[in-house]
Amino acid sequence: MAFSVSREGEVTVVDVTGQLIVGNRQELRQKVLDELRGGARRFLIDFTDTAYIDSSGLGVLVSLSKKIREAGGELRLSSLSEDLRTLFELTKLDTLFRIADSRQEGLEAD
């Protein structure tokens, strides 16, 4: 599993490859918080290559979203598979996040 960070215009994009679970959630948290401290405000986490997310992974997304919002920024999610979308719907987290169907849609400004 890996988290790669890149910049697309003003958006900091994090690609999640493999699983986002209890064993690696802190790595994602640290990478995003480092970018936030460095001045980044618009974030997109892309799940194109993500197999599954557990409750700890969902929890770290909730926590990061809160921190980014408190700093005046925004966290969006994109490219959730049908399985991953099911997890967000079951937990009602689809009501908490802005979820784009594609990476491109997630990158678009309002």
Partner 1 sequence: MRPTEARHEMERQLVFELPNDIRRIEDTVEFVVSRCMVCREVAHKLHLNFRVSLTEALSNAMIYGNRRDPAKRVRVEVYVRASSVTAQVSDEGPGFDPDEVPDPTVVGNRSRSHGRGLFLMRELMDEVRFNDSGNSVTLVLHLPETDAASDRAPA
Q: Which residue, 31 or 63, is less far from partner 1 as judged by CB?
A: 63
From 8, 10, 34, 83, residue interacting with partner 1 (rule: CB under 8 A): 83
HEC assignment per residue over 38-95: CCCCEEEEECCCEEEECHHHHHHHHHHHHHHHHCCCEEEEECCCHHHHHHHHHCCHHH
**Judged by CB under 8 A, does residue 17 bind partner 1?**
no
Ramachandran angles phi, psi of 29, nearest 5°: -55, -45
From 6, 48, 86, 104, residue interacting with partner 1 (rule: CB under 8 A): 86
* # binding residues, partner 1 (CB under 8 A): 27
Instruction: Provide, rounded to whole angstroms, the least separation between the CB of residue 107 and partner 1.
Output: 25
CA-to-CA distance for 29 and 22, rounded, in angstroms? 12
From 7, 23, 48, 104, residue interacting with partner 1 (rule: CB under 8 A): 23
